[in-house]
Structure 1
Amino acid sequence: MNSFKPKYQEFINENFKGLKLRKPLFYNWKFGLRFNLQAENINTEKYFEEVNKRAVAIFETTFSNTDNIFLILTDYKFRRKKIRFSNYIFNQIDNLKKQEISYSKVKKLYEPNDELDIRNIAAIKLTTKRLNYRNILSAIANSDFLSRQPRYDKRGVFTDAEIYIINIDKKIIFNMYDDRGLDIICTDKDTIFPIYKKYNDWILDFDRKKIDNLFV
């Protein structure tokens, strides 16, 4: 039996009390940053180069190679009992074993009155250095563009998959939601102040006032 199963939820309950792991992460917690990843005209190579450059830069500032992390992958259930071991995201983890993965389900995550709103969840504990995060971030950037690779779903269809990367040591949760942007939340705003300063030009203007007020 996998003794790891409850631990990621215990971590959230202890450090992010009341938080549901769902989008939009930034609006679901008191301390956070929301970044704009867009710069050029959509669907050009320069556009995706900029999206990936920004996402990777922010990720590498948020995580060190030795950080302990949880990778949480959620996907709409459809008829599938659980997330396939052969999926693209799992393939981006070095030497992943099936017994490292904890599977569960969550109901009514987005639709409280919908019995069919069921999400499959896969949770993996690892260190950042095992994670090919560049490929994962690129796949997220491509999620709304069927002709682009890499993709989470090899069948070339749109997906409801969501990826959350939790920094256990720094108590930060990272979610790149698509090519438009990414959210970071934390338990202590001082933890994310260096990220706020370093990438201030990329803060989403719509939320800039709210974010600036955190650090006044």
Structure 2
Amino acid sequence: MLKELMEEELKLMGLNSLEHPIFYNCQYGIRFEIGVGNVYNKDMTPRKEYVESALSRAMTIYNNGIKSPTLLMWEVYPQGEEDKSDFEILFSKKIISILPQEEFSQDIDIDNEVIKRTQLYWDLKKSNIPMNKVFREIIIGDLGGSEDFISSIYLFDVENHVMLHLYDDRGLDIVAYDKNKLIPIYQKLNTWILDYDRKQIDKIFFV
């Protein structure tokens, strides 16, 4: 049910898969800069101010862009003796002790190597997942946290056909079936748009 729902949303947005970067593969989207300023202290530990600022931006975009949270999908790649239960334990430890409502595993071919991919699904209408904790784990994933959270969690608002993908501490993609759903955050949070992609994004909303 949740897997099929996600696949329907991807098709609506013109996406055949979750190939990265999401922004470049979708007709209507915005790429935001999340992390700004110096990342590390002199002792190479991540600056608290950097992490908190990135988290604040991510939560602001989420609260303004995802009006009706529907599902969360976490895509993981078990290695060796790992299986989905290891990731469920990690999710419980770092975020909240709520098991996914659905899971789907398959073997896929990447560069002539067969690896296992598992997708874990949470119904956000039934599960109260604390997004601030989800985003924090993604943000600190490259800064000494768990790398399993980096660029692997996708959030969907099925009612409005919007998807949000915080890929790491640097940035966040939000895409939609209808560009009108993104106009409010394009206008409200315009100064946070990633400068590298600003011209392309401006063209989307000025047409």
Identify the TM-score tier after normalising by the shorter chain. Answer: 0.7 to 0.9
Residue equivalent to 1:197? 187
Structure 1 runs, 4 residues or longer, greater than 6 Å off: none
Deviates more, 1:3-12 or 1:130-139: 3-12
Between structures 1 and 2, the one with greater helix share:
2
Residue equivalent to 1:9? 7
Contact 1:4 1:102 in 2 (8 A): no
Over aligned residue pairs, what C-alpha RMSD do you find? 2.4
Aligned match for 2:49, one of 46, 49, 54? 46
Residue identity opposite 1:159 in structure 2: D
Deviates more, 1:50-59 or 1:122-131: 122-131
Q: Displacement, 1:104?
A: 2.6
Residue identity opposite 2:136 in structure 1: S
Residue identity opposite 1:163 in structure 2: I
Q: TM-score, normalised by structure 1?
A: 0.80
SS of match in other structure, 1:179 = coil
Q: Judging changes above 3 Å, is the alpha-carbon distance between structure 1 residues 106 and 137 closer, same or farther for their aligned structure 2 residues?
A: farther
Residue 214 (structure 1) aligned with residue 204 (structure 2)? yes
Residue equivalent to 2:44? none
Q: TM-score, normalised by structure 2?
A: 0.84
Q: Judging changes above 3 Å, is the alpha-carbon distance between structure 1 residues 81 and 97 closer, same or farther for their aligned structure 2 residues?
A: closer
Q: Judging changes above 3 Å, is the alpha-carbon distance between structure 1 residues 160 and 106 closer, same or farther for their aligned structure 2 residues?
A: farther
Whole-angstrom distance in 2 between the partners of 1:132 and 1:166: 15
SS of match in other structure, 2:182 = helix
Contact 1:90 1:96 in 2 (8 A): no
Residue identity opposite 1:104 in structure 2: S
Residue 63 (structure 1) aligned with residue 66 (structure 2)? yes
Q: Judging changes above 3 Å, is the alpha-carbon distance between structure 1 residues 128 and 210 closer, same or farther for their aligned structure 2 residues?
A: farther
Aligned match for 2:29, one of 19, 32, 49? 32
Residue equivalent to 2:148? 159
| 1:84-123 mapped onto 2 (5 Å cutoff) | 84-88=87-91, 92=95, 96-97=98-99, 100-105=101-106, 107-108=108-109, 111=110, 113-123=111-121
Residue identity opposite 2:70 in structure 1: I
Contact 1:72 1:123 in 2 (8 A): yes
Whole-angstrom distance in 1 between the partners of 2:14 and 2:107: 17
After superposition, the C-alpha distances for 1:171-196 in whole angstroms (9 at most, x for unaligned) are: 01100000000001110111101011
Residue identity opposite 2:175 in structure 1: I
Residue equivalent to 2:159? 169
SS of match in other structure, 1:9 = helix
Unpaired runs of 5+ residues, structure 2, are: 41-46
Whole-angstrom distance in 2 between the partners of 1:126 and 1:86: 19
Whole-angstrom distance in 2 between the partners of 1:87 and 1:35: 28
SS of match in other structure, 1:130 = coil
